[in-house]
Chains A and B, each alone.
Chain A
Amino acid sequence: MINFLALFGVFFKIGMFTFGGGQAMIPLLQKEVVANLAWIPMKEFLDFVAISEITPGPVAINMATFVGYKLRGLTGALVTSLGVILPSFIIILIIATVAHTFRTNRWVSAFLDGLQPVVLALLTYAVYSIAKGGIPAWWGYIASFGILLLILKYGKKLNLFLVLLAAGGLGLLIFR
């Protein structure tokens, strides 16, 4: 049986070295728990990924909970989830304590200004890749564009959660 410390260690390490968001964690996690440690068979791992992508919450935490639960039950799930969250938490906490000085430093400020166009590019690419991977038919793209126009027109008056639920409901109706 896999002990909790090993479980925690693997997810802490992955949380520590995954840059660029939770999606970037999947290949790393696969290498670790499927290939190196052989804790989870490949097919099951892919099932976990598929479910994590359609359930609420960051994919990284979904995956950690799945693997932890599968290997050591409820306690395992909590151990792995905590493991994957803690590095982020600690690192951001340290940064946040000095963040108020960022914009007063010429070089940090220049660095932040310089990376903004890249963030814009990453978000643009995210729109493309999420749409390509998740919208099954052309009328889905039309619907998406329509929702975009609604958000732009009604702004703050539009409840974004209801928009998502309504979009889900629309999906039940139009996607076959």
Chain B
Amino acid sequence: MEQKKLITYTAGHASFKKQLLLFWIFFIIGAFTIGGGYAMILMMKRYLVEQYHWIKDEEFYDMLAISQVTPGPIAVNMATFVGYTQGGVLGSVLATLGVSIPAVAVIIVIAVFFPGFKDNVWVQRFFAGVIVGVVAQIATIVLDLGKRQKWTIVSAVVCAAALGILFFAREVSPIWLILGGGLVGIAVEALKPHGTGSSTTKRAS
């Protein structure tokens, strides 16, 4: 039975060119991430999965899930994760710097030159327009993830319960929901009849 690998390792022999490309990709993503980390997911997937074929679909979503259970901004977590697996330690440093530099630079420019930035009516209108696009991009990811989810009664109930909690009890931190979902997953696995474990058990190895 095949053993699914989370990450396709190329870190050991990544060229400097690829490491620079990692920097550039995450720099561009960082420069266009407006309205929080979720906004960059679709762009990242385009580059990493569809354009360069560095990682597979399910690896991408695994990384995204892990980036949400670990502390810190999701964009930074994803950059470090992808950077390391694709370009080693230098790759992770470059990708992380890439995603961070636009954020630092733009704030310094605003703080120094444009203190009235946010009160400008044109800025506000432009931003509202960008959000229209961002919402559409996140909705695209929702549909994609919904389509590839293995729907069972349990996963549907977990999803509905998490939605219910998010909408009606907003004080709950996402981390508890994510950990709760993970624990349900473990419970389901533990309750499976012995010997018929998931496809990832090493029964045939």
A binds B: yes
A-side residues, CB < 8 A to B, are 15-25, 47, 50-62, 65-66, 69-70, 74, 77-78, 81, 84-85, 87-89, 91-93, 95-97, 99-107, 109-128, 130-131, 134-136, 140, 143-148, 150-152, 156, 160-161, 163-164, 166-172, 174-176
Interface membership of B99, Cβ < 8 A: yes
Given that A15-B71, A92-B80, A152-B143 are contacting pairs, would A114 and B131 also be in contact in the complex, using a CB cutoff of 8 Å?
no
| 19 A-B pairs with C-beta separation under 8 A | A60-B72, A61-B104, A85-B72, A96-B85, A106-B200, A109-B198, A109-B200, A112-B62, A115-B178, A120-B159, A125-B163, A126-B138, A134-B127, A135-B135, A140-B132, A144-B136, A164-B130, A171-B130, A175-B129
Distance (Å) between the CB of A40 and the closest chain B CB? 13
B-side residues, CB < 8 A to A, are 3-7, 9, 28, 30-39, 41-43, 46, 50-51, 61-77, 80-81, 84-85, 89, 92, 96, 99-100, 102-104, 106-108, 110-111, 117-118, 122-143, 145-146, 149-150, 155-156, 158-160, 162-163, 166-167, 173-175, 177-186, 188-189, 197-198, 200-202
- A107–B117 CA distance with the chains assembled, in angstroms: 50
Residues of B within 8 A of A117 (CB): 149, 155-156, 158-159, 162, 181
Which residue in A47, A124, A145, A147 is a CB contact (below 8 Å) of B163? A124
Distance (Å) between the CB of A88 and the closest chain B CB? 3
Which residue in B32, B46, B138, B140 is a CB contact (below 8 Å) of A152? B140
- A58–B111 CA distance with the chains assembled, in angstroms: 17
Main secondary structure of the interface of A (DSSP, over half): helix
Q: Are A118 and B149 in contact (CB under 8 A)?
A: no
Residues of B within 8 A of A101 (CB): 6
Question: Nearest CB to that of A128 among chain B residues?
Answer: B167
Given contacts A23-B37, A134-B131, 10 further A-B contacts (CB under 8 A): A58-B36, A77-B108, A103-B4, A110-B185, A116-B155, A152-B140, A163-B137, A167-B129, A171-B125, A171-B127
